[in-house]
Structure formats: C-alpha cells, structure tokens
Amino acid sequence: MRPSLLVLALLLAAVSAPAQSPIEEARAALATYHEDVTRLDRARDGLEKFLKTDSRVEGMILLSRIYFQWGDVRASDDSERLAAYDRGRELGKRAVELGPKSPEAHFWYAVNTAKWGQTKGAIRSLFLLPTLREEIDIILTLAPEHPGALQLAGSVELGLPWGDLDKAEADFRKGLKIDPHYTSVRVDLARLLIKRGKYPEARRELQRVLNEKEPRFLADWTVKHTKRARELLDAIKDKS
C-alpha cells in the first residue's frame, strides 16, 4: 500500500472507531488518572451530562467514585474538597435508593460521607458516626469479604479517641488476607501500628506498599498510597 493510501486508511479507521461511552470513559479515567489527572475532570463532566438522561445506578456509583478521587487529588482547598465529597455522597445516596442491594452503592456513599465529615471536622464526623456504622454493616452483610468496607470499619475505630484498636487491626488484617494488593488497607494498618508504637512492623508494612508490584488500584497507588507511605516512613524514621 502506497504511503498516501496508508494514511487514508488510518484516518478512516480512526473516524470509524466507536467513541467511548461516558461510563467506559469513567472506568478508564479511574484506572489511568495517574498518567493525566485531568482525565477525572473529563470523565466527571461526561457522566454528569449522561446522568441527566440516563439515571442508571452504575453511572451514579462511578460518578460518586470520581468525585471522591477528585476531592483527594484535584481539589485545591477544603472548600473544593467539601463540594466534591458532598456531591459524591449525594450520588451515592441516590444510588443506594435505586439499588439498595448494591454493595458498591453503599460503599461509595459511606466513603464520601466519611471524607466529607473528616474535612468538616471532628464534631461533624461524630455526628455522622451512626450513618457510617449502619452503612458498613449493610455492606458487610451484602459482601462479607469487601476489603474496602473492612478498611472503612477499621478506619472508623482508628479515628475515634475511644476506638477499639484490636477490632481495627483485625479488620485491616482480614482485608489484606482477602486482597494482599489492596495498598490503602496496608497504609492504614501501618498507621495503626504506629499508634501502637510498633514502629519496626509499621516500617515493614509501609515498605511493602512501596515495593508492591501489582497494586489493586494502580492509579491510587501511584498518586496517593506511595506518597502517604513515604510521609509516614519519614515521620517515624527516628522511632525505635
């Protein structure tokens, strides 16, 4: 094939290739935003438009998840973070109403609610505690081996002044037994070990995060988990 015809064929192939649906674009953005964080912006805007005419639960869950990530990695201040988490929990709550048996709907509603309360401050977090515990119980009833829900359950205990650290540690370790590549759970386990003064063990867990070859969520591991692991390692470098 002559070069001119080859170029024409490539152009025709590009034109005829089906465009990604907003749901497909959202999934791709969540998996690859470490390469370009603005993919979250485009996926968010595309799904917001999509949901105006197609209110399927799957789309709401994905958009709730995107708002969570956007608040974590794109927001420039607490005001933007609060707005993102609030929209995420609104979408999650609507997904729960439409799909009450969906563990992921409950999970992203709960996670956004937790981050919104955490950003608001301690008083608001305590006010939301009954909601979070109820949602965690629902998720673990629907999906007993949900690592994210186990992590959330442990994080709630870890964050409370009177929290049950034994339960938190058991939840984190169970989550990692189910999925050893779930690196955010390992970071939280290390945080708990630091709180308990178990610095050598915490260092081992944090180093495992940095050395992970097959993270469950590559984008999250690249952008968030390795950064947090290094911060914690630096914070305890002089602890014995």
pLDDT at 119: 93
Residue range 159-240 forms a domain whose CATH class is: mainly alpha
The whole-angstrom separation of Cα 199 and Cα 190 is 9
Every domain of the chain and the residues it spans:
159-240
The whole-angstrom separation of Cα 113 and Cα 129 is 10
The whole-angstrom separation of Cα 95 and Cα 143 is 17
- Region of poorest pLDDT, from 28-42, 50-64, 120-134, 164-178: 120-134
**Secondary structure element (H or E) that encloses residue 229, with its range:** helix 226-235
Question: Average pLDDT of the chain?
Answer: 93
HEC string of 1-25?
CCHHHHHHHHHHHHHHCCCCCHHHH
Please compute the mean of the pLDDT values over residues 13-17 and round it to a whole number: 46
Confidence of residue 187 (pLDDT cuts 50, 70, 90): very high
Q: What is the pLDDT of residues 140-153, one digit of tens each?
A: 999 999 999 999 99
> Angle at the Cα of 99 (from 95 to 100), degrees rounded to 5?
105
Please compute the mean of the pLDDT values over residues 4-22 and round it to a whole number: 58
Asked if 154 contacts 192 with a C-beta cutoff of 8 angstroms, the reply is yes
Q: Is residue 14 scored above 50 in pLDDT?
A: no
> What DSSP string describes 20-86?
PPHHHHHHHHHHHTTT-THHHHHHHHHHHHHHTT---HHHHHHHHHHHHHHHHHT--SHHHHHHHHH
pLDDT at 126: 83
Q: What is the pLDDT of residues 114-166, one digit of tens each?
A: 999 999 986 667 889 999 999 999 999 999 999 999 999 999 999 998 999 99
pLDDT at 12: 52
- Region of poorest pLDDT, from 10-19, 102-111, 167-176, 185-194: 10-19
Q: Is residue 227 scored above 50 in pLDDT?
A: yes
